[in-house]
Amino acid sequence: MDFDTIVVGAGTAGCLLANRLSADPSKRVLLLEAGGKDDYHWIHIPVGYLHCIGNPRTDWLYNTEAEPGLNGRQLRYPRGKVLGGSSSINGMIYMRGQSRDYEHWAALTGEDAWSWGQVLPLFKQHEDHWRLDAKGSADEAFRALHGHRGEWRVEKQRLRWDILDAFAAAAEQAGIARTEDFNGGNNEGVGYFEVSQRGGLRWNAAKAFLRPTCLGRPNFELWTGATVHRLKLRRDESGALRCEGAEVRTSHGMEQVRLAPGGELVLAAGAIGSPQILQCSGLGPAALLQSLGIAVQQDLPGVGQNLQDHLQIRAVYAVEGTRTLNTQAAHWWGKLGIGLQYLWSRSGPMSMAPSQLGAFTRSSPQLRWPDLEYHVQPLSLDAFGEPLHRFNAFTASVCNLNPGSRGSVNIRSGDPDQPPAIAPNYFSTEGDRRIAAKSLRLTRRIVAQPALAPFQPREVKPGPAYESDEELTRLAGEIATTIFHPVGTCKMGRAEDPLAVTDPQGRVRGVAGLRVADASLMPTITSGNTNAPTLMIAERIASWMLQQRA
C-alpha cells in the first residue's frame, strides 16, 4: 500500500501533523510510532510522570555522555517512547516562549512566516484556554492572544502551596512583578504555571489530535510498536535524490512502507530520533558516516549538531513551620490523604505538574528580555529517581534560557537499535558559566526577602559556604541537570548556512519528498519550555504541506 504522507513519530508534533494532513479524505496518511499505546494509567494521572521517566514502557532510557561541564557526570535523558511521545511524560507546562525568539528565527531563516505576528495565530489555532470558557471572564487583550475550542487544552493548576505563595511574594519583593499570563510574548513575571490538563488529567498529543478525529478516518493508519530503521532513498538518472519510504521494524519483522508518487515523509521523531534516522540513512556529516562505514547519500554537516538544551540548577532550601510534599508523602496516612483528595476532586498533589510556580527574570538589569526561568517546587530530592528528602524543603530551580553551549547527537554505528551518543556540552562557554553563578546569587537574594522569613529558609544546596564565581560554577555543575528541552539537531536555515539541515519550510536539503517537523527544527532554543513551540512548528509545516498539495 502506498501513502501520500508518512509521519515518523507520534509525539507532540507527529500527532498534530497526522491530524491536519489526514483531514483531506483523498490522501492516505500513515503514522509510525516506535512505542506502544498510551494506556498506562500513570501517563494520565499528572504526578505519574515520576513513574514514566526511567520506565521502559514509556521512556527511551537515554543517558548523556560524561559531561565535562557537569564535573564528569552523565545525566539520565528521558524522551517519551509511547503514543503522545514526550507529551505523555512531560511536566505539562504550557509556555510559548518570547516574541523575540520567533523574530530571531525569521531573521536567521529569512522566512517571515516564523515571526511572532505570524506564529501567534498558529498557537491560537489549536489552543483551548480555560479562561475563555466562561463568558466575560477574559478581556479583549487576552482574547487577542489566546485561542478557544482548539484541541490543546490549557488549564489552571488545581492546587496551591503556602511555601510557593511565599516564594512568589519574595520574588515580588526582589523586583519581579506578578503575572497572570506567561504567554503574551514577554513572559517576565512570577505566577503559577498553566498546564496541559483537562479536569485534573494529563492532556497529551494523542488525546488532543488522534482521538477520536483521526483514528476514525478511513484514510488514516496508525502503527504502534513500529520503529523506523532507515529511509528508503533513490537517486534518479539525473543524480537527484528522493525519499521513497522507510524500513520499519514491527512485531511482524522488517517491513517496507512506500510513498505514493509526489508523496512526502515527515520526520517527527524528536531531537534525538530524527537526526538518528537521518544519519543511519546516510544523510549527515560525511566524516562521521564514513568513519562508521555508512555510504554517504548526502553530506549534511548539520545533522545531529547544534544540540541546545536548558540546564536547571536546583538549589534546595530546608524550611520550618509549613508542610511540603517531602513530609506530606512520607507516611502511609499522608499518601492515603493525597490519594483520597485526588479521587474526590481530581486536585491536590496527585494533580500536580512537577513544577507549579514559575518566574522569568533578567540576570542583569541591562538586559531587555528575561534570560532566566525559575521552576519552584514544594519538594526536594538528591536526583530524579531518588526518594524525597525527609525534611520540609522547597527547590528553586533556575535555568539560563538562551545558553551559548552547543552539543551533538551522533550515532555510534549503523545499528538503529544502538542509542546515539548524546553530548549536550553544558557550560562549555564562559557566558553560560557566568550566568550560572549569577543565577544562584539571584536565588539567594529572592530567598532572603521578608516574605520567606517566617519559614526560616536554610540553604542545603549548593550550600551557604560557597561565595566566589568559581565555587558557584563548580557547585552548579554538581547540582544541575537537564530540564528536558533538547532541540536544534536538524535545524532549518538559509541556503548559505552550512549547518542548516532543511530549508526554512522544513524540507531536507538535497532530498526530495523529505521534511522535518519537530523540536529538532528549531535553529535556536525558545526562551521557555519547548512543547508549545513544537506544536506550533507542526502546525506551520502542516499548513505549508497542505498548501503545496493543493
Ligand X SMILES: Cc1cc2nc3c(=O)[nH]c(=O)nc-3n(C[C@H](O)[C@H](O)[C@H](O)COP(=O)(O)OP(=O)(O)OC[C@H]3O[C@@H](n4cnc5c(N)ncnc54)[C@H](O)[C@@H]3O)c2cc1C
Q: Which residues are catalytic?
A: 485
* Nearest residue (CB) to ligand X, 28 versus 79: 79
- Closest separation in Å from C-beta 408 to ligand X: 17
C-alpha grid cell, residue 75: 545525566
* Nearest residue (CB) to ligand X, 268 versus 409: 268
* Nearest residue (CB) to ligand X, 89 versus 545: 89
427 φ, ψ (degrees, to nearest 5): 55, 30
Helix (H, G, I), strand (E, B) or coil at 394: strand
Round to whole Å and give the CA distance between 160 and 192.
8
3-state secondary structure 152-180: EEEEECCCCCHHHHHHHHHHHHCCCCECC
Give the residue nearest to ligand X (CB).
11
* Nearest residue (CB) to ligand X, 283 versus 451: 283
For residue 268, give every residue at least 6 positions away whose Cβ sits within 8 Å of its Cβ, in sequence order, or none.
Answer: 7, 8, 9, 10, 11, 13, 14, 17, 274, 516, 517, 518, 538
- Closest separation in Å from C-beta 270 to ligand X: 3
Report how far apart, in Å, the C-alpha atoms of 88 and of each of 15, 128, 206, 335, 352 are.
Answer: 12, 18, 8, 24, 15
For residue 20, give every residue at least 6 positions away whose Cβ sits within 8 Å of its Cβ, in sequence order, or none.
Answer: 538, 539, 542, 543, 546
Report how far apart, in Å, the C-alpha atoms of 417 and of each of 246, 342, 411, 533, 541 are.
Answer: 16, 39, 10, 29, 29
Round to whole Å and give the CA distance between 11 and 33.
8
- Closest separation in Å from C-beta 377 to ligand X: 12
Q: Running DSSP on this structure, what letter comes out for residue 185? A: S
- Closest separation in Å from C-beta 353 to ligand X: 7
Nearest to 264, CA basis, from 507, 536, 20, 45? 507
* Nearest residue (CB) to ligand X, 122 versus 519: 519
| Residues 529/536, Cβ–Cβ less than 8 Å | no
Please tell me the total number of residues recorded for the chain in this structure. Answer: 550
- Closest separation in Å from C-beta 372 to ligand X: 17
Round to whole Å and give the CA distance between 8 and 17.
10
Which residues of the chain form contacts with ligand X (CB under 6 A)? 8-14, 32-35, 53, 78-81, 85-87, 89-93, 95, 227-228, 268-271, 273, 277, 484-485, 518-519, 529-532, 534
* Nearest residue (CB) to ligand X, 241 versus 399: 399
- Closest separation in Å from C-beta 436 to ligand X: 21
Q: Which helix H or strand E contains 549, and what residues bound it?
A: helix 531-549
- Closest separation in Å from C-beta 521 to ligand X: 8
Q: Where are the beta strands (DSSP E) in 289-334?
A: 298-299, 311-318
Round to whole Å and give the CA distance between 342 and 349.
8
| Residues 6/266, Cβ–Cβ less than 8 Å | yes
* Nearest residue (CB) to ligand X, 18 versus 300: 18
| Alpha helix ranges (H) inside 249-360 | 270-280, 286-291, 325-328, 332-345
If one counts every other C-beta atom within 10 angstroms of the C-beta of residue 42, the result is 18
| Alpha helix ranges (H) inside 448-512 | 469-479
174 φ, ψ (degrees, to nearest 5): -85, 5
* Nearest residue (CB) to ligand X, 92 versus 492: 92
- Closest separation in Å from C-beta 83 to ligand X: 7
- Closest separation in Å from C-beta 59 to ligand X: 8
* Nearest residue (CB) to ligand X, 272 versus 319: 272
Q: Where are the beta strands (DSSP E) in 15-136?
A: 29-32, 62-63, 76-77, 127-129
